[in-house]
Structure 1
Amino acid sequence: MNILQYESKIWATADLLRGCGIKESEWPSYMMPFFALAMIESRLMRMFDDLRTEIGEDTFAQIKKDDLYDLIKDKGQGYNIFIFEKTKSLTDICKNDKSFDIDFDAYLNGFDNETRDLLGVDASEGEKFLDIKGVISKLKAKKVLFNYTKLWAEIDLKPFNNSEITTLEEHIKRKWADISAETAGEQYTPDDVIALIAEIIASKIEESSTLLKIYDCTCGGGNMLFGVEDRINQKFKRLTQTYGQDWNDALYALAKIESRFRPDSKIEHGNTLVEDKFYNEEFDVVIANPPYGVSWKGYQKDIENDKTRRFKFLPSISDGQLLFMQHLISKLNASGIGVVVHNGSTLFSGDAGSAESNIRRWMLDSDIVEAVIQLPTDEFFNTGIYTYLWILNKNKQPHHKDKVMLINASDKFTPLKKSKGSKRKEVDEINRLDIVATLTAYQDNDYARVFEKEFFYFNKQAIMLTNIDEQNRTFEAHLPLKEDKFGEMKRASSIELMPIKITQGELELTEFSITQYDTTHHASLENYYIDAIKTKVAQLDYKEQPLLITTIDAKYYYDTNQETLIKETDNNKEALGCGKIIVKASYKKANKKFADRIEINVELTADYQKDYEVIPFNKDPVINQAAIEAFMIRYISKPFEYLENVVGVEINFNKIFYKPKTLRSVNEITVEIAKLDEQLRQLETELAL
């Protein structure tokens, strides 16, 4: 029997939900607890049968109830009074609709404490996990609980082993991902991507007598964690142990239930970023597909006060992907490897000096990034964007050290015959093996390139430009020299004028110790300043409209044609060089000498402009500085001073693997135009007839 025959039968239970008017997006929350119930029962019954076979029917019949309980408890897979003591199943309970409510309640309460907790049998407040109690209440209210339970009871998973049930579980979760877009990215990674991740890990591990510890910090329902483990077990005899954590109640419960039927698996509930349940563990393999673009504002203080030192930098609060990345790196043992799924933001978000850029630089400085693989678009069930696999390795081969490989696998797919939500492509086995072979070879080919890690670094050099007029003059030359506290002579930042009138268009300011103001609209001089004078002064722009500053001795204005400040005295005009006119207004409260007043001041300054230049980086400091200076000589023509230089890191697949579109020849276009002209003439002829 092929267990996937049950996929459609399980999903057919949703027809009853549809008939009750339950929204499609809510179906998973109704189906998860009953699917878990079917899985648990089938596995417990298989375990019970295996135990009877192992002990022998005659011996088994003589076992006391307490001894039987201890035997089953030692298996660590759960217990149910109905199944083990009354040899009754959900099917038996559904045979009598009159006693169903009482029997079903007793059946659920017959589970061991942990199973009841995971199913949410006794949930009232707090953690509900699968919340079967809440689902039952809703189905009762719609008077369909018996019929709904009966449909699930007809699904007999007992003939199938754990691996087969896991396969079915993954298919069902994929269905949930299709209709529950808000959680799809968190709960299901496509099987082909899981297979690729497993192939990558398998290419980097060896047979050994030591235990292989595999960890997923956002394990969801466990499909990726257990899927990778199963594939590793198919290729190696090496013993494996899985660890996972998730804070989604229902998905954690599914993963926890699954873990109990595996030889060695530990699943914990909680927010990994706030409370690492495996804080004292390190792992051989880490994998994860953390949620994309999810804010961590809700637990910002906990992250900022984290004492584990795992977070070197804190990224934008709107996206926690790089928090998970830093956490995973902290969990790797001395020779650990990892594969982490991210969207593109972790490659290039954030400018030089930002937390995102600093995290990338820390990762490359630590030489932990071995490769980044770009997957095709339309690979996941709820998004069509590009996704990326970060390959982490703390034990690189000698010829991989201080290098990073980029693999553009965006064309390594086969189209699906039928779309699954947004998923229209899959990385099939041939392409998966090709990608892994390319990664193993670690050499350039037509879709992959190997770089020195510094290739991804860049200088963001800040400079202070001094703008000049058309005669290469700057107002800086008119600023007086002053001695600073260290005895060095430096130019003042500005020259202050004492204006008697400021004019721009219809605006004219002549009162600089204003005592009269519009009492109709302003109750005080301070309000007058805030509502009228401050607003007007803020709008003054010497470049947008002529601004004339009149003092006792001269007039000052900016000549936009020459880009220079002009000083005019008795019709004599002097070009002072490129500079700025700054008008400031401030309200001064009354003191012993003066009443409250509004002061308006004017300053002339040089026209300085801070700018940034992005320049390729070289790991040799001398060569790097020489490259910066050569860049400035070539591209910067104005006087400038060096300010801070910040080194950033970004990984840009488009830049490296860009393929320009081939343009058609002029002759081809001309021929097409001639054909169109001929068609138009024929149409005109037909219309004329």
Structure 2
Amino acid sequence: MDILQYESKIWATADLLRGCGIKESEWPSFMMPFFALAMIESRLVRMFDELKAEIGQDAFAKIHKDDLYDLIKDKGQGYNIFIFEKSQSLTDICKNDKSFDIDFDAYLKGFDGETRDLLGVDAAEGEKFLDIKGVITKLKTKKVLLGYTKLWAEIDLKPFNNSEITTLEEHIKRKWADISAETAGEQYTPDDVIALIAEIIASKIEESDTLLKIYDCTCGGGNMLFGVEDRINQKFKRLTQTYGQDWNDALYALAKIESRFRPDSKIEHGNTLVEDKFDNEEFDVVIANPPYGVSWKGYQKDIENDKTGRFKYLPSISDGQLLFMQHLISKLDSVGMGVVVHNGSTLFSGDAGSAESNIRKWMLDSDIVEAVIQLPTDEFFNTGIYTYLWVLNKNKQAHHKDKVMLINASDKFRSLKKSKGSKRKEVDEVSRMEIVATLTAYKDNGYARVLEKEFFYFNKQAIMLTNVDEQGRTFEAHLPMKEDKFGEMKRVNSIELTPTKITQGELELTEFSITKYDATEYPALDSYCMVAIKPLVAQLDYKEKALVITTADANYYYDSDQETLIKEAGGIKEALGCGKIVVSASHKKATKKLAERIEISVELTADYQKDYEIIPFHKDPAVNQSAIQAFMARYVSKPFVYLENVVGVELNFNKIFYKPETLDPVSKIADEISDLDKTLKVLEAELAL
């Protein structure tokens, strides 16, 4: 039997929801608890039948109820009084319309405590998980509870094993993802991407008698975690153990229910970034598809105060993807590997020196990134953007060390005959095998490059430029030298003028030490300074409009045509070189000698400008510095001094794989224009008739 025959039958239960006016976006919240109920019952019945067969019918009939309970409890898969003690199923409960409400309530309360919690049977506010209690209340209000329950009772999953039910669950979650990004779709990873991740992992591990521990820190409903495990188990005899954590109530409950029917699986509830439920564990394999572009502002203080040491740098508060990446790396054992799904922002967001760039640099410095694979667009159900697989490996082969492989798999797909939400493509099996073979070979080909990790580094060299006028002059030459506290002679920063008048257009200032103000309009002198004087002074831009500073012996202004400061005295103009006129206002408190006042000051300074140059990086420090100097000599013509140099890291697929569009030769374009011209003349002739 093909379990996927039940996909349409399960989805048909939504017809009843539609018929009673429940919005499509709300369907997953109604379907999740009943789907979980169907899964739990089918697996408990299957387990019960296997237990009977194992013990034998005669021996089984003689087992005392308490002993039977202990036997089932040891299985760790749950308990239900109706199933195990009364041999009744959900189908039996639905047969009696009159007693259904009472029987159904008793059936749900007949589960063990953990199952009741996961289903939300006794849910209080804030402890809902699958919230079947709330769903039942809504269905009762709509008077369709019995009818809806009967539809689910008809779905018999008992003939199918765990892996088959997981496959069905993935398909159902995918449909939920199509209609609601706020539920399962928020964490849903397509089956073809899961298969590719599993193939990558399979290419890195070997048969062993040691346990393979697989961890997903944002496991959602468990589709990727359990999907990878099932595929690994198909290829290897090696025992596996799965660990997962998620803080979405409903998705956690689904994953937890699934985990109880697997040989060795541990699923925990909670925010991984705030409370790691596996803080003492390390893993052979880590996988995750953390949420994209989700703010971590709500738990900022917890992360800033984190004492685990897992967060080397804190990225922009608007996107926590690289927090999850750092957490996952911290969970790898000494030879562990991982595959993490991200969008493009983790490749290049943040400038050199930013947390994002520093995280990438730390990852490459640690030589933990083996490859990054660009997937096709339109691969996921709720977004059409490019997504990327980061392949992490603490046990790189010798010829992989200090290298990173970029694989542009954007063309490795098969178009779907029918779109599934935003998903229009899939990485089919042929493409998956080709991608894995390319990764394994670790050699350049038409869509893959192996590069030294330093290729992705760049220098962001800061410099302080000294702007000059048309004659190459700078006001810096007029700044006097002065001995600093270390005994070195250095130029002062500015020359202060003593103005008698400041003029700009119709504006004229003649008072430069202000002690009076309108007390009816301003509460104090400092308020007058802040509200009235500083804004007035701020508009005195010497470049925007002619600004003249008059002193006792000269006028000073800026000649924008020559880009120079001019000193005019006695009818003689002297070009002082490129510089700035800085007018400022400040409030001064009263001293023993001077009253409280507002002082307006004027300074002439050189025109310094901080700039940055992006320069390719060389891992040899001497070569790197020589390259920086050669770059400056070629491209920077103004005087400058070096400031700080910050090394940034970004992984730019477009830079490496960009192929310029091939343009037709001019002769061909000319022939096409000529043909069009002839066609137009024929049409004009026809219109003239």
Query: Per-residue displacement from partner, 1:545-576 (whole Å, max 9, x unpaired)?
Result: 11100001100001111111110001111111
Q: Which amino acid aligns with 1:484?
A: D
Q: Contact 1:178–1:184 (CA<8 Å) still a contact in 2?
A: no
Q: Which amino acid aligns with 1:459?
A: N
- In the alignment, the residues of structure 1 paired with residue 183 and residue 322 of structure 2 have an alpha-carbon distance, to the nearest angstrom, of 20
Q: Equivalent residue for 1:146?
A: 146
- In the alignment, the residues of structure 2 paired with residue 630 and residue 525 of structure 1 have an alpha-carbon distance, to the nearest angstrom, of 54
Deviation at 1:441, TM superposition (A): 0.4
Q: Contact 1:483–1:490 (CA<8 Å) still a contact in 2?
A: yes
Q: How does 1:515-554 map to 2 (within 5 A)?
A: 525-554=525-554
Return closer, same or farther for 1:523/1:200 CA change in 2, 3 Å cut-off: closer
Root-mean-square deviation (Å)? 1.4
Aligned to 2:513, what secondary structure does the other structure show? Answer: coil
Q: Equivalent residue for 2:643?
A: 643
Aligned to 1:634, what secondary structure does the other structure show? Answer: helix
Q: Contact 1:184–1:382 (CA<8 Å) still a contact in 2?
A: no
Q: Equivalent residue for 2:245?
A: 245
- In the alignment, the residues of structure 2 paired with residue 357 and residue 187 of structure 1 have an alpha-carbon distance, to the nearest angstrom, of 26
Q: Equivalent residue for 2:107?
A: 107
Q: Are residues 1:510 and 2:510 paired?
A: yes
Q: Equivalent residue for 1:16?
A: 16
Q: Which amino acid aligns with 2:90?
A: L
Q: How does 1:163-182 map to 2 (within 5 A)?
A: 163-182=163-182
Q: Contact 2:174–2:185 (CA<8 Å) still a contact in 1?
A: no
Deviation at 1:585, TM superposition (A): 1.4
Q: Equivalent residue for 2:383?
A: 383
Q: Equivalent residue for 1:355?
A: 355
- In the alignment, the residues of structure 2 paired with residue 519 and residue 78 of structure 1 have an alpha-carbon distance, to the nearest angstrom, of 79
- In the alignment, the residues of structure 2 paired with residue 214 and residue 589 of structure 1 have an alpha-carbon distance, to the nearest angstrom, of 67
TM-score, length-normalised on structure 2? 0.98
- In the alignment, the residues of structure 2 paired with residue 82 and residue 552 of structure 1 have an alpha-carbon distance, to the nearest angstrom, of 104
Q: Equivalent residue for 2:264?
A: 264
Return closer, same or farther for 1:393/1:523 CA change in 2, 3 Å cut-off: closer
Q: Which amino acid aligns with 1:156?
A: D
Deviation at 1:517, TM superposition (A): 5.4
- In the alignment, the residues of structure 2 paired with residue 299 and residue 321 of structure 1 have an alpha-carbon distance, to the nearest angstrom, of 14
Query: Per-residue displacement from partner, 1:348-394 (whole Å, max 9, x unpaired)?
Result: 11111111111111111111111110000000000011100011110
Q: Which amino acid aligns with 1:426?
A: E
Q: How does 1:65-144 map to 2 (within 5 A)?
A: 65-144=65-144
Deviation at 1:181, TM superposition (A): 2.0
Aligned to 1:181, what secondary structure does the other structure show? Answer: coil
Q: Equivalent residue for 1:628?
A: 628
Q: Contact 2:176–2:185 (CA<8 Å) still a contact in 1?
A: no
Deviation at 1:513, TM superposition (A): 3.0
Q: Which amino acid aligns with 1:314?
A: L
Q: Are residues 1:392 and 2:392 paired?
A: yes
Q: Which amino acid aligns with 1:366?
A: S
Deviation at 1:141, TM superposition (A): 1.1
Q: Equivalent residue for 1:465?
A: 465
Q: Equivalent residue for 1:44?
A: 44
Q: Equivalent residue for 1:420?
A: 420
Aligned length: 689
Q: Equivalent residue for 2:216?
A: 216
Aligned to 1:600, what secondary structure does the other structure show? Answer: strand
Deviation at 1:169, TM superposition (A): 0.3
Q: Equivalent residue for 1:497?
A: 497
Q: Which amino acid aligns with 1:562?
A: Q
Q: Which amino acid aligns with 2:540?
A: L
Query: Per-residue displacement from partner, 1:615-644 (whole Å, max 9, x unpaired)?
Result: 111111111111111111111111111111
- In the alignment, the residues of structure 2 paired with residue 329 and residue 527 of structure 1 have an alpha-carbon distance, to the nearest angstrom, of 54
Q: Which amino acid aligns with 2:163?
A: S
Instruction: Identify which range, 353-362 or 658-667, moves more after superposition.
Output: 658-667
Q: Which amino acid aligns with 2:508?
A: E
- In the alignment, the residues of structure 1 paired with residue 556 and residue 68 of structure 2 have an alpha-carbon distance, to the nearest angstrom, of 101
Q: Which runs of 4+ in 1 moved over 6 A?
A: none
Deviation at 1:58, TM superposition (A): 1.1
Q: Which amino acid aligns with 1:345?
A: S
Q: Equivalent residue for 1:201?
A: 201
Q: Contact 2:76–2:260 (CA<8 Å) still a contact in 1?
A: yes
In the alignment, structure 2 segments of 5+ residues that lack a partner are none
Q: Equivalent residue for 2:254?
A: 254
Q: Contact 2:118–2:253 (CA<8 Å) still a contact in 1?
A: yes
Q: Equivalent residue for 2:186?
A: 186
Query: Per-residue displacement from partner, 1:327-351 (whole Å, max 9, x unpaired)?
Result: 1111111110100001111111111
Aligned to 2:630, what secondary structure does the other structure show? Answer: helix
Aligned to 1:664, what secondary structure does the other structure show? Answer: coil
In the alignment, structure 1 segments of 5+ residues that lack a partner are none
TM-score, length-normalised on structure 1? 0.98
Instruction: Identify which range, 120-129 or 357-366, moves more after superposition.
Output: 120-129
- In the alignment, the residues of structure 2 paired with residue 359 and residue 621 of structure 1 have an alpha-carbon distance, to the nearest angstrom, of 21
Instruction: Identify which range, 515-524 or 484-493, moves more after superposition.
Output: 515-524
Deviation at 1:594, TM superposition (A): 4.0
- In the alignment, the residues of structure 1 paired with residue 76 and residue 413 of structure 2 have an alpha-carbon distance, to the nearest angstrom, of 42
Q: Equivalent residue for 1:566?
A: 566
Q: Which amino acid aligns with 2:98?
A: K
Deviation at 1:64, TM superposition (A): 1.1
- In the alignment, the residues of structure 2 paired with residue 400 and residue 373 of structure 1 have an alpha-carbon distance, to the nearest angstrom, of 16
Deviation at 1:159, TM superposition (A): 1.4
Query: Per-residue displacement from partner, 1:92-123 (whole Å, max 9, x unpaired)?
Result: 11111111100000000000000000000011
Q: Equivalent residue for 1:477?
A: 477
Deviation at 1:675, TM superposition (A): 3.3
Aligned to 2:17, what secondary structure does the other structure show? Answer: helix
Deviation at 1:244, TM superposition (A): 0.6
Deviation at 1:611, TM superposition (A): 0.5
- In the alignment, the residues of structure 2 paired with residue 495 and residue 278 of structure 1 have an alpha-carbon distance, to the nearest angstrom, of 64
Aligned to 2:241, what secondary structure does the other structure show? Answer: strand
- In the alignment, the residues of structure 2 paired with residue 568 and residue 134 of structure 1 have an alpha-carbon distance, to the nearest angstrom, of 85
Q: Contact 1:242–1:264 (CA<8 Å) still a contact in 2?
A: yes
Q: Which amino acid aligns with 2:239?
A: L
Q: Which amino acid aligns with 2:45?
A: M
Deviation at 1:534, TM superposition (A): 1.7
Aligned sequence identity (%): 85
Q: Which amino acid aligns with 2:253?
A: A
Q: Contact 1:186–1:290 (CA<8 Å) still a contact in 2?
A: no
Deviation at 1:126, TM superposition (A): 2.7
Query: Per-residue displacement from partner, 1:69-109 (whole Å, max 9, x unpaired)?
Result: 11111111110000111111111111111111000000000
- In the alignment, the residues of structure 2 paired with residue 679 and residue 564 of structure 1 have an alpha-carbon distance, to the nearest angstrom, of 61
Return closer, same or farther for 1:155/1:232 CA change in 2, 3 Å cut-off: same
Deviation at 1:588, TM superposition (A): 3.2
